[in-house]
Structure formats: structure tokens, C-alpha cells
Amino acid sequence: MKTIDARKLACPAPVLAAKQTIEKEHPAEIQILVDNDAARQNVMRFLASRSYHAVFEADGPDFRITGTADQISAPGSGADETFDPDARKIMVMVATDRMGHGDDVLGGKLMISFIKTLKEMGSDLWRLVFVNNGVKLTASGAETLTDLKEIARSGVTILVCGTCLTHFKLIDAKQVGETTNMLDIVMAMQLADKVINI
């Protein structure tokens, strides 16, 4: 079994290390050691996208993730590749929990209204990505949760920066979306027809 020690590596290095190993060596089994829950979630989701069955066990403060290649489908045939190529793909990146500068209370109300109105984009809305202070909109107590959960149920992928969640100590408070890393975000930007930054 191939083992990668990705402890003490900043996001997205653990995922990149797994990606490089899988692309070069195509191991039937791979084990990745990480030292935080955001990295654990990111690596497990990445392994699943490459058709590996992933499980983990806690090892003190660290996590040991084991991925076993699916014998039915070849590694590399991830779920992200199943989208309709003729559909317009708009990615919205939200880097703040308020809209605009000046009055923070007004900015918070405008952001709530913005999230509520995003549904009007219909099927054009493809990815909704939260980074920096924006991750607070996905955490317990946020007034945006009901609308974000409705957007997720409609089929929109919501990605939430794991490094940002960890920074704000919100990794366990996230209520909607998938914990993600910078590699996923950059790849989504590359695939999107249009990126809107808020």
C-alpha cells in the first residue's frame, strides 16, 4: 500500500500529494496521513472523485485515510465529469458575509437578500463557493442557511473552504455544502463559463 504523510502540509497540499501519486502510480490502495479534519474531508472527497472507496480512523490528533480503488470504474472518472456540457455554468464566489462597504448592518441585510435571490439564476447557477469571511454564511446560526439548503437541494454544488472554516473555528459548525480546498476552487473556476466574485 502506498502511504503519504501529509501532516503539517497546508491546504491544498494533502490533496495535491494524493492526486500526483494516483496519476503517476495508480495504486490499488493508498493511505494518506493528515493532521486536521478539513484535510481529512478534502482528501476523502478527492479519493471518491477518483473512484476510490475511502475510510478513515483517528490516530491521536491525526487521521489515517485509506483509499481502495473501485474495480468497476477506473480512477479518474469522478462525479464532476457528469455535468451537461451544453448547460451554462456560472460559479459565484462569496468571500464576505456582507455586501459592500460602509454600514455593516446594511451589508449583512444585503447579503441575506443576495443569497435569497440567487435562486432566480435557475439552472445557470452551477457552483456556489464560500471563502474567507463568507464561510460564516454556511455555519450554525446564519440567517442564510434555509436558502442555501434550498439551493443545494436544487442540485447546485456548494463548496466551503476548509482552511477558512478552520481559521474561524467553524469546521464543526458548517451546516451546508462540502468542505473544499484551493485545488477544487481553481478547477471549478477553470471549468466555469463565468465566475462572479462577491
In whole angstroms, how large is the CA radius of gyration of the chain? 18
pLDDT given for residue 72 in this prediction:
52
Question: By the 8 A CB rule, do 131 and 180 touch?
Answer: no
pLDDT given for residue 151 in this prediction:
96
3 state SS of 22: helix
Task: Say whether both 98 and 74 belong to one domain.
Answer: no
Task: Say whether both 87 and 33 belong to one domain.
Answer: no
94-153 pLDDT, tens digit each = 999 999 988 999 999 999 999 999 988 989 999 999 999 999 999 999 999 999 999 999
Task: Say whether both 68 and 90 belong to one domain.
Answer: no
The residue out of 79, 98, 132 marking a domain boundary is: 79
Nearest to 62 by CA among 86, 43, 48, 47: 43
Element (H, E) at 47: helix 37-49
The pLDDT of residue 80 is above 50 = no
Question: By the 8 A CB rule, do 127 and 159 touch?
Answer: yes
Q: How far is CA 7 from the centre of its chain?
A: 20
The pLDDT of residue 24 is above 80 = yes
The residue out of 34, 57, 79 marking a domain boundary is: 79
CATH assignment of the domain containing 104? 3.40.1260.10
Question: By the 8 A CB rule, do 100 and 108 touch?
Answer: no
Task: Say whether both 111 and 95 belong to one domain.
Answer: yes
Nearest to 165 by CA among 134, 186, 143: 134
Domain that holds residue 136: 83-197
154-175 pLDDT, tens digit each = 999 999 999 999 999 999 999 9
47-71 pLDDT, tens digit each = 988 899 999 999 888 999 999 998 6
Task: Say whether both 95 and 164 belong to one domain.
Answer: yes
